[in-house]
A and B are shown apart, each in its own frame.
Chain A
Amino acid sequence: MVMTDLLAVLVPALPLAGAVLLSALRRKLSATVAGSIATALIAISFVATVILFSGFDTEAGGRTVRILDWLNITGMDIPLALRIDALSLTMMLIVTGVGALIHLYSIGYMHDDERAPTFFAQLNLFSFAMLMLVMGSNFLVTFIGWEGVGLCSYLLIGFWYTKPDYNYAARKAFVMNRIGDVGMVLAMALLFHFLGTLEYAAVMEQAHSIPAWGLLAITLLLFFGATGKSAQIPLFTWLPDAMAGPTPVSALIHAATMVTAGVFLVVRSSVLFDLVPYTRDVILWTGTATALLAATIGLFQNDIKKVLAYSTVSQLGYMFAALGMGAYSAAMFHVTTHAFFKALLFLAAGSVIHALGGEQDIRKMGGLKGSIKITFVTFFIGTIAISGLPLMSGFFSKDLILAHAFQHSPVAFGLLVFGAVLTTFYMFRLLFLVFYGTYRGKAHAHESPLTMTVPLMVLAVLSVVGGALNLPHLFGGHEPMKHFLESAAAAIRSEEIELSASTEWILMGITAVLVFTTIAFAYGRFVKRTTLEGDEADMPLLKRLIAQRWRVDELYAALFEKPYGWLSEHFHSIGELRIMVPLQNGVGEAALRVGNVVRKLQTGNASFHLLAMVAGIILFLVITLLSN
């Protein structure tokens, strides 16, 4: 048991050590050495996680490793403790496993950058924060990680800080995340108010004693916090802009790990959410709306990474829709497979960008399948996985969500299927425009080095076979992931699909047929004819609206930025200049004047001071006498 505890502490400690070490030696190390150190550390973390996983006994449930007392005041005991259970182990495997591959990939991707050691230090710091987030045994430790990943995300988006646009993107991500964090902080405050503890185990046990309105507020606030991190409506606009960061960052933070933190948080507090059906409905419809909105925007984007970013937002919408239906294990399953194929897609896109010397516009690509074969094959696998072609990982996870949706609400089912069709369309559009047809750019394409292609291949294999992690009964499996997760969240046990086998077959059939039709349509549109998007000004109204991302950014600017700017200006011109400044100066001047008068009392004459002292004593005695 001591051994397991040690391993559990080691898992987040190694990336932290790496971050400290690399930032201390960032001027001395070369990019390759720094990358190797960072990769090795996170790989060791992964091995430790695997050992923990293999030794984990689902019957025994979770284990809490108390590292040290943190906030231990009367009536408040919040330790710095780690929780090892099925849920955190799943997330730890994703974070360290996919993380290690992305670290490895970054060695090749960043080898020309002179600030590469800093990059790896921040990447390691991110891994540490993410591990704290998933391993924390109470809300506050999770919150450390929650803030930590937000910070690292900010740092890494703005990694190339010489470009002002990137800094704006980083700031936007940070501010949006911070808005969500307010929800999380308030939720924690309410939880502490009602229960006096923030330990997950204790909170879930005593959840029933919270009054209904409290539960409602807590769950809504937690979900609001989750929308910030997981880029859901209304706080999703930062994620596409976050693509300013280096591509491995997009893969690790903005596809595989950090953005799933919201999903993780909801699953962690599933007991609370199970008690409030209203919040679950809110989550379901927010998720569905996000899935559709982001998918439509993805249709007309021309930046290879932006398409993937909107696709990520859309897939996160699917996860939240699943959460809203109480299908926690389905959501976690989709988190896992999504981590595989979306990391793969981002890394492959990075490889394309790398091959073309930094070009990101798909209108200037095309016909690349001959020149960069490994990238093409892996990107292709990623595309069919996310589109949900039968027997790919995305097929199983998305189908599970759709089956739940069908059982839960036909409307949601219809919308989500529509979203899946859109996903297939924009993903194949991307694939066709990048790799098929003729090359429309000028750069000379070259295949990426082995450090970049090996992670691609590993992730491609995982994207294909990832569905086996939770193979449904229909395909002869027995949903191992669901049973594994049951030990962490009891709510999963009641999460059954009660559809008959034939219904499920029909559903799968419908999706498959739709997906194949869409692919054929996309093939005709983009391979036979190579339709490129022109200027936004020439588009018809609706299409232009979509291409301009539904003008959500402009809406937010009009709704929040402008009034805020107006308020700030007036607070400055009236509140600050007319009220506060005169007030402060007045206080200062008054003090000076009073001082000028009073200081004459201080004569420096000893006998005068003696007299004053005697007068004081007399006064004191008189007051004492008069008061009794």
Chain B
Amino acid sequence: MLAFFYLFAAISIISALIVVSARSPINSVIALVVCFLSIAGHYILLNAQFLAMVHIIVYTGAIMVLFLFVIMLLNLNKATEPMKTLGTRVAAVLAGGLFFLTLMAAIRHGINITPANEFDPGVGLVRSVGLSLFKEFLLPFEVSSVLFLSAMVGVVMLAKKEKTSPQPLSQVEGLPHDNAPLNKA
């Protein structure tokens, strides 16, 4: 069992690194799908079967496909991204590393992470999560539908074509370009 854990952990870390470092966005998306699938494996190891299913459906099935669609529609699949300067890259690695170190220090000192309760094999199955969701969290569950509605309306508002201003913003005359022109890069 421990072997499964290490397998999934290795897959997720490696694929996460690929997500960050891949030149092509398509590769990143594929790596992220792999990462999410390995996380779904973790969920199953943790006996969270309901979550594992929802995770695969929502993330891998819906969200990642959405990413792919956007990349396809905007024709982004070219490795045109200019690399950042060395300083920024060092800073990024440093930031991530420092963050990780700080968190590690946090669990080494002071933050107690030992499990408290007895093990319950029912936890994480559809029954227990469903009961909790529809008893204790019924109202937030219903309210989240409103969130989706507003997100939907917002997306339609944002993504629809504007009739008045067809030209890119950078070419509109009269905008202030005092310090940093938009098309500098």
Q: Once the chains bind, are B109 and A625 in contact (CB under 8 Å)?
A: yes
Instruction: Tell me, yes or no, whether A474 is within 8 Å of chain B by CB.
Output: no
Q: Which of B95, B109, B179 contacts A611 (CB 8 A)?
A: B95
Instruction: Tell me, yes or no, whether B72 is within 8 Å of chain A by CB.
Output: no
Contacts of A567 in B (CB 8 A): none
Q: Once the chains bind, are A621 and B103 in contact (CB under 8 Å)?
A: yes
Q: Which of B92, B99, B110 contacts A618 (CB 8 A)?
A: B99
Contacts of B157 in A (CB 8 A): none
Q: Which of A604, A607, A617, A625 contacts B106 (CB 8 A)?
A: A625
Contacts of A628 in B (CB 8 A): 110
Query: In whole angstroms, what is the CA distance A615 to B84 when docked?
Result: 19
Q: Give a binary string over B94-120; 1 marks a CB under 8 Å from any A CB, 0 the rest.
A: 010011001101100110000000000
Query: In whole angstroms, what is the CA distance A166 to B179 when docked?
Result: 62
Query: In whole angstroms, what is the CA distance A56 to B84 when docked?
Result: 94
User: Closest B-chain residue to A614, C-beta based?
Assistant: B95
Q: Give a binary string over A601-628; 1 marks a CB under 8 Å from any B CB, 0 the rest.
A: 0001001000100110110011001001
Q: Once the chains bind, are A614 and B102 in contact (CB under 8 Å)?
A: no
Q: Once the chains bind, are B99 and A617 in contact (CB under 8 Å)?
A: yes
Contacts of B109 in A (CB 8 A): 625
Contacts of A604 in B (CB 8 A): 179-180
Q: Which of A607, A611, A621 contacts B102 (CB 8 A)?
A: A621
Query: In whole angstroms, what is the CA distance A621 to B109 when docked?
Result: 12
Contacts of A615 in B (CB 8 A): 95
Interface of B is mostly: helix
CB distance from B24 to the nearest CB of A (A): 20
CB distance from A607 to the nearest CB of B (A): 7
Query: In whole angstroms, what is the CA distance A621 to B107 when docked?
Result: 12
Contacts of B180 in A (CB 8 A): 604
Query: In whole angstroms, what is the CA distance A622 to B109 when docked?
Result: 12
Query: In whole angstroms, what is the CA distance A622 to B103 when docked?
Result: 9
Instruction: Tell me, yes or no, whether B88 is within 8 Å of chain A by CB.
Output: yes
CB distance from A604 to the nearest CB of B (A): 6
Contacts of A607 in B (CB 8 A): 84, 88
Q: Once the chains bind, are A625 and B110 in contact (CB under 8 Å)?
A: yes
Known: A604-B180, A607-B88, A611-B91. A625 touches B102 (CB 8 A): yes
Q: Once the chains bind, are B92 and A611 in contact (CB under 8 Å)?
A: yes
User: Closest A-chain residue to B91, C-beta based?
Assistant: A611
Query: In whole angstroms, what is the CA distance A615 to B95 when docked?
Result: 7
CB distance from A605 to the nearest CB of B (A): 9
CB distance from A373 to the nearest CB of B (A): 87
Query: In whole angstroms, what is the CA distance A198 to B102 when docked?
Result: 61
Contacts of B99 in A (CB 8 A): 614, 617-618, 621
CB distance from B91 to the nearest CB of A (A): 6
Contacts of A614 in B (CB 8 A): 95, 99
Query: In whole angstroms, what is the CA distance A628 to B110 when docked?
Result: 8
Query: In whole angstroms, what is the CA distance A308 to B27 when docked?
Result: 105
Query: In whole angstroms, what is the CA distance A607 to B81 when docked?
Result: 14
Known: A625-B105, A625-B110. A618 touches B88 (CB 8 A): no
CB distance from B141 to the nearest CB of A (A): 30
User: Closest B-chain residue to A621, C-beta based?
Assistant: B102
Q: Which of B102, B106, B180 is packed against the most chain A CB atoms within 10 Å?
A: B102
Contacts of B105 in A (CB 8 A): 625
Query: In whole angstroms, what is the CA distance A617 to B103 when docked?
Result: 11
Query: In whole angstroms, what is the CA distance A617 to B98 when docked?
Result: 11
Query: In whole angstroms, what is the CA distance A604 to B179 when docked?
Result: 10
Query: In whole angstroms, what is the CA distance A403 to B103 when docked?
Result: 94
Query: In whole angstroms, what is the CA distance A628 to B88 when docked?
Result: 33
Contacts of A621 in B (CB 8 A): 99, 102-103, 106
CB distance from B110 to the nearest CB of A (A): 6
CB distance from B56 to the nearest CB of A (A): 30
| Residues of chain A in range 212-250 having any CB-CB distance to chain B below 8 Å | none
Q: Give a binary string over B132-161; 1 marks a CB under 8 Å from any A CB, 0 the rest.
A: 000000000000000000000000000000
CB distance from A539 to the nearest CB of B (A): 81
Contacts of B103 in A (CB 8 A): 621
Contacts of B92 in A (CB 8 A): 611
Contacts of B102 in A (CB 8 A): 618, 621-622, 625
Q: Give a binary string over B54-93; 1 marks a CB under 8 Å from any A CB, 0 the rest.
A: 0000000000000000000000000000001000100110
CB distance from A618 to the nearest CB of B (A): 5
Query: In whole angstroms, what is the CA distance A625 to B103 when docked?
Result: 10
Query: In whole angstroms, what is the CA distance A615 to B103 when docked?
Result: 13
Q: Once the chains bind, are B106 and A618 in contact (CB under 8 Å)?
A: no
Q: Which of B98, B103, B110 is packed against the most chain A CB atoms within 10 Å?
A: B98
Query: In whole angstroms, what is the CA distance A617 to B102 when docked?
Result: 10
Query: In whole angstroms, what is the CA distance A625 to B106 when docked?
Result: 7
User: Closest B-chain residue to A619, C-beta based?
Assistant: B102
User: Closest A-chain residue to B180, C-beta based?
Assistant: A604
Contacts of B179 in A (CB 8 A): 604
User: Closest A-chain residue to B84, C-beta based?
Assistant: A607
CB distance from A225 to the nearest CB of B (A): 62
Contacts of B110 in A (CB 8 A): 625, 628
The 10 closest A-B pairs by CB, nearest first: A614-B95, A621-B102, A618-B98, A618-B102, A618-B99, A628-B110, A611-B91, A625-B105, A622-B102, A625-B106
23 contacts between A and B (CB under 8 A): A604-B179, A604-B180, A607-B84, A607-B88, A611-B88, A611-B92, A611-B95, A614-B95, A614-B99, A615-B95, A617-B99, A618-B95, A618-B98, A618-B99, A618-B102, A621-B102, A621-B103, A621-B106, A622-B102, A625-B105, A625-B109, A625-B110, A628-B110
Which residues of A approach B to under 8 Å, CB–CB? 604, 607, 611, 614-615, 617-618, 621-622, 625, 628
Q: A604-B179, A618-B102 are in contact. List 12 more A-B contacts (CB 8 A).
A: A604-B180, A607-B84, A607-B88, A611-B92, A614-B99, A618-B95, A618-B98, A621-B99, A622-B102, A625-B105, A625-B109, A625-B110
Which residues of B approach A to under 8 Å, CB–CB? 84, 88, 91-92, 95, 98-99, 102-103, 105-106, 109-110, 179-180
